[in-house]
Copies of this chain bind each other. A is one copy, B any other.
Amino acid sequence: MLTGKQSWVFESKPIIRATGTIGGPFEAKGRLAEEFDLLHDNLWMGESSYEKAQTVLIEQACEQAIQKSGLNKEQIQFMLSGDLVNQLTPSTFAGRSLKIPYIGLFGACSTSMEGLAMAAYLVDSKGANHVVTVASSHNAATEKQFRYPTEYGGQKPPTSQWTVTAAGAAVVSTEGKGPRVTSATIGKIVDMGLSDPFNMGGAMAPAAVDTLEAHFNDTQTSPADYDLIVSGDLGEIGLAIAKDLCQQKGIQLKENQFKDCGLMIYREGQPVLAGASGPGCSAVVTYGHLLNRLKARDLNKILVIATGALLSPLSFQQKESIPCIAHAVSIEAAEVSL
């Protein structure tokens, strides 16, 4: 149900009944390795192209989530999927093999929460009993498309981020057991004129704070209502800017209350420059690590703000700045085990 200008409150609190998190070899060396369902030991996943490998990631994430949910594929009404590849090629081919009625979404790295918001919305408003939502990225497929093939060995500045190779899926249901989705805020596109594709965290920070502010206004909440606020993939530079902007806007955060998925997934010492990024990043950190903490009651209520840089190689070539967006979803630990 619409709340305020651009938010929904989910009265039935749809349940994240099960998740599937699949990663690649670099993620296998990361800090959250033990919280993945499955980790591949190379980037090809037995396929002949990186894009086909990404399709495998999506299929496996959905299959894991559906299997763990105790449902069968035919009981899932809709699949919501998005990724960074042109025309959502990996999502499309995964949708073809999964044969679930399909809604394609594009929000760059914000796709994880765009999908979770829509999935929870559909379940809350009786448009579906069970929805699977999935977001993914593949490091080499992304580098090849947006920058240079990794084989070129191009150098990057320290402000750039490392695209995660991973897919994270969630089955959102009217019934079952698991953490619950309580509200969502759909962001506006914000563009502060930054045009450096090697500093996307900096470009995305204002969009994250714009959505954060809209969320608190719309739902009449404040940071005090959340144990943790987690951005999608602002990285070190973007997170610092976002914290500054929060302070300027009077959004009062406690120490260590605002973290970033892009700074959680890898270990110190992994060469990821300013942090991780990609739609798969916030998807696996949320559906793996953060939900585990909610299930363990280490956290009771969190707000995930997935940020997306909606640039394209073409908009960069045409000397445009980077339009950014962020969508926020609040998740709480289940009150009762049903």
Contacts and interface: CB of A to CB of B under 8 A. Distances in A.
A102 interface: yes
Contacts of A51: 314-315, 318
Nearest to A81: B106
Contacts of A125: 1, 121, 125-127
Interface stretch (A83-91, A257-265, A286-294): A83-91
Interface stretch (A186-194, A233-241, A269-277): A186-194
A2 interface: yes
Interface in A158-196: 186-191
Contact of A107 (B104, B191, B318): B104
Interface residues of A, number: 58
The 7 closest A-B pairs by CB, nearest first: A87-B312, A125-B125, A6-B101, A104-B106, A92-B310, A101-B186, A96-B189
Contacts of A314: 51, 85-87, 89
Given A2-B128, A87-B315, 18 more contacts: A5-B77, A6-B78, A52-B318, A85-B312, A85-B314, A86-B312, A86-B314, A87-B106, A87-B108, A88-B106, A89-B314, A95-B323, A96-B323, A99-B189, A103-B118, A103-B186, A121-B125, A125-B127
Interface string A92-115: 110110011111111110000010
Nearest to A97: B189
A311 interface: yes
Given A78-B186, A100-B188, A104-B105, A88 B310 contact: yes
Nearest to A211: B101
A89 B321 CA distance: 12
A333 interface: no
A313 interface: yes
Contacts of A187: 101-102
A82 B96 contact: no
Nearest to A320: B93
8 contacts: A84-B87, A86-B86, A87-B315, A92-B312, A103-B114, A103-B186, A104-B107, A105-B105
Contacts of A67: none
Contacts of A99: 188-189
Nearest to A86: B86
